[in-house]
Amino acid sequence: METRAHHVLIGLFTVLVAAGGLLFGLWLAKSSSDQQYNYYDVIFTEAVTGLSQGGTVQYSGIKVGDVVSLRLDPRDPRKVLARIRVFDRTPIRQDTRAKLAITGVTGTAIIQLSNGSPDSPPLLAEDGKVPVIQTIPSPLSKLLANGEDIASNINNLITNVNQLFSQENVDRVGRTLDHIDQATAVIAEQRADIRRTVRELADASQQARQTLANANLLLGNANQLLSSQGKDILGNTQQTLAALQRSSEKIERLLDNNYDAVNGGLKGLGDIGPALRELRSTLESLRGVTRRLQENPANYLLGGDRTKEFQP
């Protein structure tokens, strides 16, 4: 009796579920029939590959209707006439535009509506005709139209990649890697020599810096010496030369005025000739000293050759 009662309950439950599903379907059909639609025509001047009757119509990503029919324009077969129906509460305006789009991973084409500013008036029928929604070029159509070119470019790319990774190039890359490995091994073996060379370069650089510092110090001392004493020495030398020049001029005038007397008494005054020669030698030495002071006073005053620059 209990088993028979369980079968009766299961059967009753099944009947109730079937009746509920039937009632739900009828309710959906009634609600669908009660829904009011507005019909529009969308004229495409491009291929509508992937779009079919019953396709979805979306407005800003929300489903607002579906495609009722697709047909070619009898007057211009390059155009496709797509009649759509959208919910009557959908704000279709005169600046609303339609384009093809792909939804989901299956690549199903839909009609995507966009734009429609609030200031634009609604798109209404004129003289009983179905309103026409203008279209904009779809990137999807361009992609499909250029599909052959894209496939050709992909094939060329694959061919070039195969040529790049040919056996000959692979062998060359292998040899290059072997050479790099050998070079790194040699460098690893010479690490001690490299470190020693770097230390020597560092020491040489330090010595060069010290030498340059000493040279700068020497130049500073020379400049200080010249600025403090060089002017006085040059002034005294110039005064001495001026005095000697005046003395020589006086002696020359004296000799010119007393030439006859001097010429007559040369035999008795034989010592005057050596004295004059010694005076002239002294004057030439003083002129040489003056010329060296004018050309290079620092070298002359310091009394030595210029310090040679150190080159590491």
pLDDT in tens, 202-244: 888 888 888 888 888 877 776 776 666 666 666 777 777 777 7
The answer to whether 26 and 34 are in contact (CB under 8 A) is no
Rounded CA separation 216/260 (Å): 63
Could you tell me which residues are beta bridge partners of residue 44? 80
Residue 47's pLDDT is what? Answer: 83
Q: What is the per-residue pLDDT across 105-151, written as a single tens digit (0 to 9) for each?
A: 566 888 999 888 888 898 887 777 889 999 988 766 666 556 556 66
| Dihedral of alpha carbons 251, 256, 261, 263, sign | positive
Averaged pLDDT for residues 277-306: 66
Residue 67: predicted pLDDT = 94
Rounded mean pLDDT of 185-205? 81
Percent of the chain at pLDDT above 70?
Answer: 71
What are 44's two structure tokens?
Answer: 């495409």
Pick the more confident residue, 143 or 89. 89
∠ Cα 74 77 79 (to 5°): 100
User: Is 39 in contact with 128 (CB distance < 8 Å)?
Assistant: no
- Whether 58 and 64 have beta carbons less than 8 Å apart is answered as yes
pLDDT digits (tens, 9 = 90+) for 35-85: 688 999 999 988 888 888 999 999 988 999 999 999 998 999 889 999 999
Question: Which pLDDT value is given to residue 190?
Answer: 78
Q: Report the distance separating Cα 271 and Cα 39, nearest Å.
A: 145
pLDDT confidence of residue 70: 93
- Beta strand 62-72 with 96-103 is unpaired
Of all residues in the chain, the percent with pLDDT exceeding 90 is 12
Arithmetic mean of pLDDT, 160-171: 79
Q: How confident is the model at residue 308 (pLDDT cuts 50, 70, 90)?
A: very low
Q: What is the DSSP pairing of strand 37-44 with strand 132-135?
A: parallel
Q: What is the pLDDT of residues 275-289, one digit of tens each?
A: 667 777 777 777 776
Residue for token pair 């029928």: 125
For helices 167-189 and 191-225, angle between their N-to-C axes, nearest 10 degrees: 60
Q: Shortest CA distance to 48 belongs to which of 134, 141, 135? A: 141
Q: Cα(5)–Cα(3) distance, rounded to whole angstroms?
A: 5
pLDDT digits (tens, 9 = 90+) for 241-251: 777 777 777 77
Q: Is the pTM of this model over 0.85?
A: no
305 versus 275: which is more confidently predicted?
275
User: Which contacts of 64-73 are long-range, i.e. CB under 8 A and separated by 24 or more positions?
Assistant: 64/90, 64/113, 65/37, 65/90, 67/111, 68/39, 73/43
Q: Is residue 312 pLDDT above 50, yes or no? A: no
Angle between helices 231-257 and 272-295 (to 10 degrees): 150
Q: What distance in Å separates the CA atoms of residue 90 and residue 100, rounded to the nearest whole number?
A: 19
Token pair listed for 193: 């020599």
* Strand, helix or coil for residue 177: helix
